[in-house]
A and B are shown apart, each in its own frame.
Chain A
Amino acid sequence: MRKLIEGMVISLIGLSAVWGAYQIPAAQEGETWAGLVPMIVAVCLSLGGAIIVIGGFTESTITKSNVSFRPSTTIIEVSGLAVLAFSYHYAISAFGYLLPTALVAPIALYTFGVRSPIGLAVSIVLCPLVFHTIFFELLGVFPPYGTVFDPLDLIRS
């Protein structure tokens, strides 16, 4: 069953890529088509997916997989961290680097099992401070600007 789903997902990606490659305009006289390699890759990907699907159908014996996959726990835990990651990205775009990092640092630590209130409190101050100092002050990277509100404006003014 797992092989079937894997193969179907890969085939779906491949077929979407075939459609995407098909949208690329035709080449002018004396040039090669820009969609040639994308189309070859997409077709091979679709075929690769199909091979896995066929392998899933024809597998005569049920073999034990080395991977232990427990959707109930694994997916929820990792999804939580992924949601935190996407939220952090959105928050940086809206509020700059400092504020979101101060909020996300203790949440990430808590997620990984840190329960010390002092440790979590310290991370609120220390993480944005250390990262900001290293990257934006010492290395001279231009910090991301918060479109809604950026505390860095207040600090610098």
Chain B
Amino acid sequence: MEIFSALSFVLTSPMLIVAILLAAVVGMIVGAIPGLTAAAAIAMLLPITYYMDPLFALAFLYVIGKSGRYGGSIAAILFNTPGTAASAATQLDGYPLAQQGKAGKAMKVATISSVIGDFMGDILLIVGVGAIASVALRLGPPETFAIYFTAFIVIGSVIGKSIAKGLISALLGGLIAMIGLDPISGEERFTFGVFDLTNGIGLVPLMIGVFVLGEVFDQMEKRNKRMAALNTKAYDKNNDGLTWEEYKPCLPHAIRGGFIGSCIGILPGLGSAIAAFVSYGEGKRRAKKPEQWGKGALEGIAAPESANNAVSGPSMAPLMTLGIPGSTIGAILLGVFLIHGIQVGPTLFLTSKELIYQLFACGLIGIAAYGLIGYFGASQVAKLIVRIPQNVLYPMIFLTSFIASYSARGSMFDVLVMICAGVVGWFMRKYEFNTAAFIISFVLAKGTEESLRQSLLMSDGGLMVFIERPIALIFILLGISVMLLRIRSIRRERNQAENKELNNA
């Protein structure tokens, strides 16, 4: 019932509505620009929100994240360049449709499906999050450590192509988080006598460095590759509209995609791209005419787009109930919570229940906002993106990253951290390490350490406490099983690829 009072509060707050609308447009544009992700935009805007009301700040960034996920489909359909990793699945059928002059139809299917998926995910979050939080409140340090451990393993091993590199990225994030004073004993760790390091490494400059400056370095290399021009034949006025008869076969795919995305979204680290491709594969398997998929099937857009956006809501569940960010956007939003002095975790629903439901309400209104703007104005957004000169955009982002990282704490040391993180982030991308796992692990590390040390104190230094307590054991086994399954699937893929090569030879 809290959600209805929250909805009425948000709907009667004109400034909040304006912020949501603005966030919907900003997210759509950012998501549609290839290379620039919603996470980067949110990281850059994060310090500004320090000066805003917490709800205003959270709603603004949360809706940018939602709209950004949808925005990726615009570039995928119109420019044959996915704006986000998840929209690569949309590109498979989206671009062929644009080539047939059906870009308008494809965009409308993408919009409706994104809205369906996002609403499904958010409703699941609203209904289930309270229950998860009440269970989370009863967990002790060993169970909490086991959940953190599982999150580490899942994040490290599932995202990316290499398990070793994923886990190393997660370990590097954990190691960086250890810099500074020990929260329990106050001992200095990895400070090497540098006074500025005693406060530890700030989340905001680290994120801006990895996601924003790292991306600027990346774009520096790619600057000679011009973005594909908007195909003028993509829009045929006779093929622009979408009828119910055309969308009707897409509806089951959108609903199924919504369920797939919601389930994948709850698991930390899996993300939109996996959800989109799983939904696309499942949709194709169940399609009446699978041979048309990949050649311009509207259903081929509905399935991945719905799953892609359905991830958004449930990925907030581990963050809000356990303090475990399920995605990079979740990690950044955690930064916003911390900036405003809001403790994220099971107690969040006791201390800030009203705020959380108001944020959910903003999310629902944000979905409707980007749905309406996208349905009627996606082509205008595409035209705007073509006009944005990339060689001006990235230098401006370069300058903004400095002032944004400084603004968080008014510290020039943070700027230095941001530059170093930018260089590290660029190297990580270059050598296929996982920046998302790096940042999420940085956030998780302190909680993991705290719960491990509390557990060890409880058990007089023994490790049996993790085996004797069934919930802790289940989570530890779950983490190990996920890693083993992932190793198996990678080996199978490698063997198939080698067999294919041998057959071709």
Check B168–A88 contact: CB distance below 8 A.
Answer: no
**A interface, size bucket:** 35 or more
Given the known inter-chain contacts A105-B399, A108-B398, A135-B403, please indicate yes or no for A45 contacting B168, CB distance below 8 A.
Answer: yes
CB distance from B463 to the nearest CB of A (A): 12
Say whether chain B's binding surface is mostly helix, strand, loop, or mixed: helix
Residues of A contacting B175 with CB < 8 Å? Answer: 13, 17, 38, 41-42, 45
Residues of B contacting A21 with CB < 8 Å? Answer: 189-190
Given the known inter-chain contacts A77-B220, A109-B392, A111-B395, please indicate yes or no for A48 contacting B167, CB distance below 8 A.
Answer: yes
Residues of B contacting A13 with CB < 8 Å? Answer: 172, 175
What 1/0 mask marks residues of chain A from 79 to 98 whose CB sits below 8 Å from any chain B CB?
Answer: 00110011011001100010
Residues 295-309 of B at the A interface (beta carbon under 8 Å): none
Q: At the interface, yes or no: B250 with Cβ under 8 Å from chain A?
A: no
Residues of B contacting A89 with CB < 8 Å? Answer: 402, 412, 415-416, 419
CB distance from B496 to the nearest CB of A (A): 14
Check B164–A52 contact: CB distance below 8 A.
Answer: yes
Which of A6, A34, A77, A88 is in CB contact (< 8 Å) with B431? A6
Which of B172, B221, B407 is in CB contact (< 8 Å) with A78? B221
CB distance from A17 to the nearest CB of B (A): 6
Q: What residue in chain A is nearest B453 (Cβ atoms)?
A: A32
Q: What residue in chain A is nearest B410 (Cβ atoms)?
A: A142
Residues 442-491 of B at the A interface (beta carbon under 8 Å): 445, 448-449, 452-453, 456-457, 461
Q: What residue in chain B is nearest A36 (Cβ atoms)?
A: B453
Residues of A contacting B196 with CB < 8 Å? Answer: none
What 1/0 mask marks residues of chain A from 90 to 120 whose CB sits below 8 Å from any chain B CB?
Answer: 0011000100010011001101111000010
**Which residue among A37, A52, A97 has the maximum number of chain B CB atoms within 10 Å of its CB?**
A37
Check A114–B392 contact: CB distance below 8 A.
Answer: yes
Residues of B contacting A25 with CB < 8 Å? Answer: 187
What 1/0 mask marks residues of chain B from 25 to 61 whose CB sits below 8 Å from any chain A CB?
Answer: 0000000000000000000000010010000000000
Check B419–A141 contact: CB distance below 8 A.
Answer: no
Given the known inter-chain contacts A20-B189, A48-B164, please indicate yes or no for A78 contacting B220, CB distance below 8 A.
Answer: yes
Q: At the interface, yes or no: B394 with Cβ under 8 Å from chain A?
A: yes
Q: At the interface, yes or no: B82 with Cβ under 8 Å from chain A?
A: no
Residues of A contacting B449 with CB < 8 Å? Answer: 37
**Alpha-carbon distance between A111 and B168 when the two chains are bound, in angstroms:** 33
Q: At the interface, yes or no: A67 with Cβ under 8 Å from chain B?
A: yes
**Alpha-carbon distance between A32 and B407 when the two chains are bound, in angstroms:** 36
Q: At the interface, yes or no: B423 with Cβ under 8 Å from chain A?
A: yes
Residues of A contacting B398 with CB < 8 Å? Answer: 81, 85, 108
Q: What residue in chain B is nearest A38 (Cβ atoms)?
A: B178
Residues of B contacting A32 with CB < 8 Å? Answer: 184, 453, 456-457, 461
Given the known inter-chain contacts A17-B175, A89-B415, A139-B407, please indicate yes or no for A131 contacting B399, CB distance below 8 A.
Answer: yes
Residues 12-39 of A at the B interface (beta carbon under 8 Å): 13, 17, 20-21, 24-25, 27-28, 31-32, 34-38
Q: What residue in chain B is nearest A37 (Cβ atoms)?
A: B449
CB distance from A145 to the nearest CB of B (A): 9
Residues of B contacting A109 with CB < 8 Å? Answer: 391-392, 395
CB distance from B209 to the nearest CB of A (A): 10
**Alpha-carbon distance between A134 and B114 when the two chains are bound, in angstroms:** 34
Residues 368-409 of B at the A interface (beta carbon under 8 Å): 390-392, 394-396, 398-400, 402-403, 406-407
CB distance from B380 to the nearest CB of A (A): 25
Q: At the interface, yes or no: B3 with Cβ under 8 Å from chain A?
A: no
Residues of B contacting A67 with CB < 8 Å? Answer: 430-432
Residues of A contacting B391 with CB < 8 Å? Answer: 109, 112-114
Which of A6, A17, A52, A92 is in CB contact (< 8 Å) with B412? A92
Given the known inter-chain contacts A45-B168, A139-B51, please indicate yes or no for A34 contacting B174, CB distance below 8 A.
Answer: no
**Which residue among B172, B223, B426 has the maximum number of chain A CB atoms within 10 Å of its CB?**
B172
**Alpha-carbon distance between A49 and B164 when the two chains are bound, in angstroms:** 9
Q: At the interface, yes or no: B216 with Cβ under 8 Å from chain A?
A: yes
Check B220–A111 contact: CB distance below 8 A.
Answer: yes
What 3 pairs across the A-B complex have the smallest Cβ distances?
A34-B182, A108-B395, A34-B187
Given contacts A24-B189, A48-B171, 5 further A-B contacts (CB under 8 A): A51-B164, A74-B221, A82-B217, A112-B220, A144-B410
13 A–B contacts, CB within 8 A, in A order: A20-B189, A24-B189, A34-B189, A35-B187, A35-B189, A36-B452, A37-B174, A44-B167, A66-B432, A81-B398, A92-B412, A105-B399, A114-B392
List residues of B whose CB falls within 8 A of some A CB: 48, 51, 164-165, 167-168, 171-172, 174-175, 178, 182, 184-185, 187-190, 192, 213, 216-217, 220-221, 223, 390-392, 394-396, 398-400, 402-403, 406-407, 410, 412, 415-416, 419, 422-423, 426, 430-432, 445, 448-449, 452-453, 456-457, 461, 498
List residues of A whose CB falls within 8 A of some B CB: 6, 10, 13, 17, 20-21, 24-25, 27-28, 31-32, 34-38, 41-42, 44-45, 48-49, 51-52, 55, 61, 66-67, 69, 74, 77-78, 81-82, 85-86, 88-89, 92-93, 97, 101, 104-105, 108-109, 111-114, 119, 127, 131, 135, 139-142, 144
